[in-house]
C-alpha cells in the first residue's frame, strides 16, 4: 500500500511539474516583452495567456509587473492578488503586493504582506526591504530601521543599498554622506 501511495505522489508531482512548465512556457514571450520595456504589448499577450488558462499564476504575476511599471497601481494590486490566490507561496507576488499596498496607502495590509513574505523566506532581502519601507511609511521608524539594517546586512546591490542607507540617515536626522570615498583614486 505504501508503494502505491508513493507512486501516486510521484505521478501527481510530475503532472504538477508539467502543468507548471506549460504555464511558464505560456508567459515567456510576455516576459521577453517586459524585458524589452514593451509593456502594452506584454499586457495584451498576458491577457491572451489568461484567456487560454485563467489559472496561470505566472501570467497574473507578470500582469502585475506590467501594470505596476505603467503606473496602474490598483490593477497591479488586483493582478498580484489573483496570483496569490492561485499560488499563495509565490514570494515575488507577496513582496510586490507589499510594495503596491504601501503605495496605495494600505499600510497595515502592506506590513501584513511583508510579514507573510518574511515568514515564507526568513532573511529574504526583498522581504526585508519591503518591510522596512512599509514600516517607514507607517511612521514606525524603529521597525523600519531594524528591517532596513537587516536588509543591508544581506549585501544588496549598490544602488538599492545606497537608497536604504540614505533613508536610514534621514530617519536618524543625519545628512547622508556622499559615497565619494570609493571614488577618490579615480
Contact yes or no for 30/56 (Cβ under 8 A): no
pLDDT for position 53:
97
**83 within domain boundaries:** yes
**101 within domain boundaries:** no
> What tens digit of pLDDT does each residue of 141-153 get?
999 999 999 999 9
pLDDT for position 111:
98
**19 within domain boundaries:** yes
Cα–Cα–Cα angle for 46, 50, 53, rounded to 5 degrees? 135
Cα separation, 97 vs 178, in Å, equals 32
**63 within domain boundaries:** yes
**22 within domain boundaries:** yes
Give this prediction's pTM: 0.84
- Domain count within the chain: 1
pLDDT for position 175:
72
**67 within domain boundaries:** yes
| Residues spanned by the domain of 40 | 1-87
Sign of CA dihedral 88, 115, 65, 101: positive
> What tens digit of pLDDT does each residue of 62-102 get?
999 999 999 999 999 999 999 999 999 999 999 999 999 99
**111 within domain boundaries:** no
> What tens digit of pLDDT does each residue of 101-135 get?
999 999 999 999 999 999 999 999 999 999 999 99
**Is 54's pLDDT higher than 70?**
yes
For 1, the enclosing helix (H) or strand (E) is none
Output the domain CATH number for residue 34.
1.25.40.10
Question: Hunting for cell 545628512 — which residue is that?
Answer: 175
**73 within domain boundaries:** yes
Amino acid at each position: 500500500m505504501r508503494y502505491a501511495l508513493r507512486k501516486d505522489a510521484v505521478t501527481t508531482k510530475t503532472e504538477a511539474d508539467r502543468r507548471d512548465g506549460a504555464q511558464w512556457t505560456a508567459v515567456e514571450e510576455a516576459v521577453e516583452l517586459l524585458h524589452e520595456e514593451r509593456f502594452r504589448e506584454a499586457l495584451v499577450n498576458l491577457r491572451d495567456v489568461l484567456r487560454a488558462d485563467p489559472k496561470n499564476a505566472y501570467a497574473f504575476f507578470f500582469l502585475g509587473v506590467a501594470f505596476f511599471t505603467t503606473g496602474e497601481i490598483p490593477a497591479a494590486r488586483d493582478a498580484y492578488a489573483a496570483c496569490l490566490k492561485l499560488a499563495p507561496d509565490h514570494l515575488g507576488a507577496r513582496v510586490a503586493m507589499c510594495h503596491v499596498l504601501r503605495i496605495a496607502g494600505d499600510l497595515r495590509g502592506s506590513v501584513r504582506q511583508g510579514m507573510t513574505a518574511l515568514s515564507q523566506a526568513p532573511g529574504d532581502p526583498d522581504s526585508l526591504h519591503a518591510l522596512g519601507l512599509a514600516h517607514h511609511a507607517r511612521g514606525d521608524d524603529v521597525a523600519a530601521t531594524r528591517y532596513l539594517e537587516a536588509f543591508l546586512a544581506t549585501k544588496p546591490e549598490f544602488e538599492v543599498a545606497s537608497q536604504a542607507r540614505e533613508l536610514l540617515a534621514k530617519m536618524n536626522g543625519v545628512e547622508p554622506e556622499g559615497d565619494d570615498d570609493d571614488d577618490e583614486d579615480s
